[in-house]
Amino acid sequence: MERSGPAPLAPLLRELIGQALREERHAQGRTLADVAARSGVSMQHLSEVERGLKDPSSEVLAAVLGALGLSAWDLPALLAPRPVLLDLTADGPDELDARRHRSITAGHSASGTRGVSLLAA
């Protein structure tokens, strides 16, 4: 039997990077203003990067990681697979694309392991 409808969209790399940066900032108990000031990146731009709306340049990424006490070598660990919730109830590709960044959630299990989960209605 052939499936109809669009295939679910995977998160974009900029969304994963932004999500990882925001999670690390929250884990450290740091404010957006503090990390922005220490990195030399404007609060607005950092917020857009964290929300996955802007692709960070390598310079911006290095500055933000440095402000968090990390380096580019730490990025793979921050991007390790994490639970992802994709909203598969959208009516079509336009609606799914418009809601993509709101449908991605992340978390860690109690044991600290990470995995990928897809939930559908």
Distance between alpha carbon 86 and the CA centroid of its chain, in Å? 13
Q: What is the pLDDT of residues 60-99, one digit of tens each?
A: 999 999 999 999 999 999 998 766 666 666 555 554 444 4
Residue-level pLDDT at 3? 60
Cα–Cα distance for residue pair 66/20, rounded to 1 Å: 14
Can you give the residue range of the structural domain that contains 93?
80-121
Cα–Cα distance for residue pair 68/70, rounded to 1 Å: 5
At 98, which helix (H) or strand (E)? helix 93-99
Same domain, 34 and 67: yes
**Residue at 3 is within a domain:** no
Band of pLDDT at residue 19, cut at 50, 70 and 90:
very high
**Residue at 5 is within a domain:** no
Same domain, 31 and 49: yes
Same domain, 73 and 20: yes
Mean pLDDT of the chain: 78
**Residue at 29 is within a domain:** yes
Same domain, 71 and 20: yes
pTM above 0.95, yes or no: no
Same domain, 24 and 71: yes
Same domain, 65 and 108: no
